[in-house]
């Protein structure tokens, strides 16, 4: 289920992984949602460039965190914890977005997470399993 990454994309991903950290899943944000009225704004907010054929935002799920690596700027990370997944938006083609949190911009709540994910339901299930495993491995889990 891992997306094929170019050598440049593999280098971008490797640069943010910690020593010994491996990906459970990796992918790229697609531009398939450009037809939706707010998709352009959401794409920019999620760190994606418009359809230019240039570098895309990379996403990765590891055993401890989720990474969003934009072509420019700082990567974002979310640590795996119960309640991380706030919502899933699935499109008719089975792609979609996994929402982790919201930030306020210009008086509006804007979702943050990973978007344009192929087979979003499968990725969400993999992420939920990784969260369960991380929680169960925690010394603080009951």
In a domain, 108, yes or no: yes
DSSP symbols for 28-95: E--STTTTSTTHHHHHHHTTPPPSSSS---EEEEESSEEEEE-SSS--EEEE--TT---EEEE-TTS-
In a domain, 56, yes or no: yes
Note the pLDDT of residue 3: 61
Note the pLDDT of residue 24: 95
In a domain, 1, yes or no: no
Which structural domain, as residue segments, surrounds residue 29?
7-13+21-137
CATH assignment of the domain containing 121 = 2.30.29
Note the pLDDT of residue 30: 64
In a domain, 33, yes or no: yes
In a domain, 2, yes or no: no
In a domain, 43, yes or no: yes
How many separate domains does the chain show? 1
Q: What is the pTM of this model?
A: 0.78
pLDDT in tens, 79-121: 999 999 999 999 999 999 999 999 999 999 999 999 999 999 9
pLDDT in tens, 21-49: 999 999 998 643 322 334 444 454 454 44
CB neighbour list of residue 109: distance below 8 Å, 6 or more residues apart: 102, 103
With beta carbons less than 8 A apart as the criterion, state whether 73 and 47 touch.
Answer: yes
């Amino acid at each position: 289920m891992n997306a094929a990454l170019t050598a440049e994309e593999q280098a971008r991903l490797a640069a943010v992984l910690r020593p010994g950290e491996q990906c459970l899943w990796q992918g790229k944000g697609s531009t398939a949602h450009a037809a939706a009225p707010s998709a352009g704004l959401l794409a920019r907010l999620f760190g994606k460039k418009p359809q230019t054929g240039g570098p895309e935002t990379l996403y990765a799920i590891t055993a401890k965190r989720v990474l969003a690596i934009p072509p420019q700027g700082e990567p974002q990370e979310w640590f795996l914890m119960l309640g991380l997944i706030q919502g899933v938006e699935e499109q008719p083609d089975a792609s979609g977005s996994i929402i982790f949190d919201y930030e306020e911009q210009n008086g509006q709540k804007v979702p943050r997470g990973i978007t344009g994910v192929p087979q979003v339901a499968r990725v969400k299930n993999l992420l939920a399993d990784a969260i369960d495993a991380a929680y169960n491995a925690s010394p603080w889990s009951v």
